[in-house]
């Protein structure tokens, strides 16, 4: 069955705003999702006196939803302070596009993660604010809220698909409950590994389907 997109998604896909590269950006960050091969890089130019985003651009490697969400998230961020832009949610981005198919909601999460990563990189390198988290069950749980179950576009924590999180000297074990023949099982495991691996102090990630 063909995926149905809203007119606004199609508009931003065909004519994306703010696409390209900022030379000598104040910050840039790349986020990617192995679930469908999407990746986004966000570039920021920031007025250091006001912390306002003067310019923002993105490069996208992926599907129509990835390009459209990159376009809308940069529209939403431009002109805002870094704190205001950091507070933009993936639901806001999806709503601005008139909604996304559940199987593509992760693209909205990816775009927001790219923007937030660039902002936090700027805050850390320019303003001395350290976002590195303590490795504990709460931190892993919060990171897993960024992993959406494609059929419904809801995160795997809310859906209670994560049954156990264990940590031992930097080795993280995550147990999930997904049908063994489900086509989204392996992509979801890959995405869990990608997200958890980003947490400071993680040395290895093992995901088991129980």
Give the residue numbers annotated as catalytic, written as ranges. Answer: 36, 107
Q: Which residues pair with 166 in a beta bridge?
A: 173
CA distance 2 to 163: 33
Judge contact between 150 and 100, C-beta under 8 A: no
The two structure tokens encoding residue 33:
């999702």
Query: Is 17 exposed, middle or buried, given 0-12, 13-18 or 19+ CB atoms closer than 10 A?
Result: middle
Nearest to 67 by CA among 99, 43, 41, 35: 41
Sequence-distant (6+) residues with CB within 8 A of 181 are none
Nearest to 193 by CA among 133, 143, 139, 120: 143
SS3 at position 135: coil
């Amino acid at each position: 069955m063909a995926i149905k997109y809203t007119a606004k998604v199609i508009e931003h896909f065909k004519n994306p705003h703010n696409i390209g590269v900022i030379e000598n950006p104040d910050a840039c960050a790349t986020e990617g999702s192995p679930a469908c091969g999407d990746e986004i890089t966000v570039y920021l130019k920031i007025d250091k006196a006001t912390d306002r985003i003067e310019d923002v651009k993105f490069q996208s490697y992926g599907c129509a939803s990835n390009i459209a969400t990159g376009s809308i998230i940069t529209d939403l961020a431009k002109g805002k302070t870094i704190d205001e832009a950091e507070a933009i949610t993936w639901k806001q981005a999806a709503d601005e596009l008139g909604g996304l198919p559940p199987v593509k909601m992760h693209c909205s999460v990816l775009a927001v993660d790219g923007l937030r990563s660039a902002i936090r990189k700027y805050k850390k390198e320019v303003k001395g604010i350290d976002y590195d988290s303590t490795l504990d069950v709460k931190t892993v749980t919060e990171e897993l809220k960024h992993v959406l179950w494609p059929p419904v576009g809801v995160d795997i924590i809310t859906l209670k698909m994560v049954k156990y999180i264990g940590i031992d000297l930097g080795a993280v074990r995550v147990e999930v409950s997904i049908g063994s023949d489900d086509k989204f099982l392996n992509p979801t495991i890959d995405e869990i590994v990608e997200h958890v691996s980003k947490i400071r102090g993680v040395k290895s990630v093992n995901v088991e389907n129980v």
